Amino acid sequence: MLPAFDPWWWRMRVGIGYDSHRFVEGRRLILGGVVIPHPLGLAGHSDADAVAHAVTDALLGAAALGDIGTHFPPGHDEWLDADSIRLLERVVGLAAEAGYRTVNADVTVICEAPAIAPHAVAMAARLATAMGIPARAVSIKGKSNEGLGWIGRGEGVAALAVVLLEGT
């Protein structure tokens, strides 16, 4: 026998996002919309904000709207050095058009340096503003890769994000 229809659970949608970029000289390091003091920035067509990109992809996934590369193709002049927080805001608008609003986001930033904790509150605030939710609904955590692989060698940054959307 099938369970009774429960409108609460079908309206909740979860998405997972991932992004990574390698370090390069000559660029600012931007994570979660915050400029972070560091001798290296991240390589990418836009501002290479791996945190904002992971959150954007998580939102798109939860709303079943494709991925960041579909909406903002790398290599297109329109997105050259684009502010990734603005891209996130556009995706929040697409999700709203599809009938969803963001409930919360949980982000893990993986790198050997810089330390993420001193910037976590500012990053949560920027992302929350872009998503139209309270800062307390955004969690930012920094993790080391304990010297393993390309991240462990200090060659770049990766970010994982989980976003919960609710149907409106």
pLDDT in tens, 67-78: 999 999 988 888
pLDDT score recorded for residue 77: 85
- Global pTM value: 0.94
Q: Write out the CATH class of domain 11-167.
A: alpha beta
**Domain range list for the chain:** 11-167
- Give the pLDDT confidence of 50-98 residue by residue, as tens digits: 999 999 999 999 999 999 999 999 888 888 889 999 999 999 999 999 9
Q: Residue 37 CA to chain centroid, in angstroms?
A: 20
Alpha-carbon torsion (91, 127, 153, 18), positive or negative: negative
What gap in Å lies between CA 110 and CA 126, rounded to an integer? 19
Asked if the model's pLDDT at residue 127 lies above 60, the reply is yes
Has residue 5 got a pLDDT over 90? no
pLDDT of the residue at 8: 59
> DSSP string of 42-106?
E-SSS---HHHHHHHHHHHHHTT---HHHHS-TT-GGGTT--HHHHHHHHHHHHHHTTEEEEEEE
> Which amino acid, one-letter code, is at 130?
A
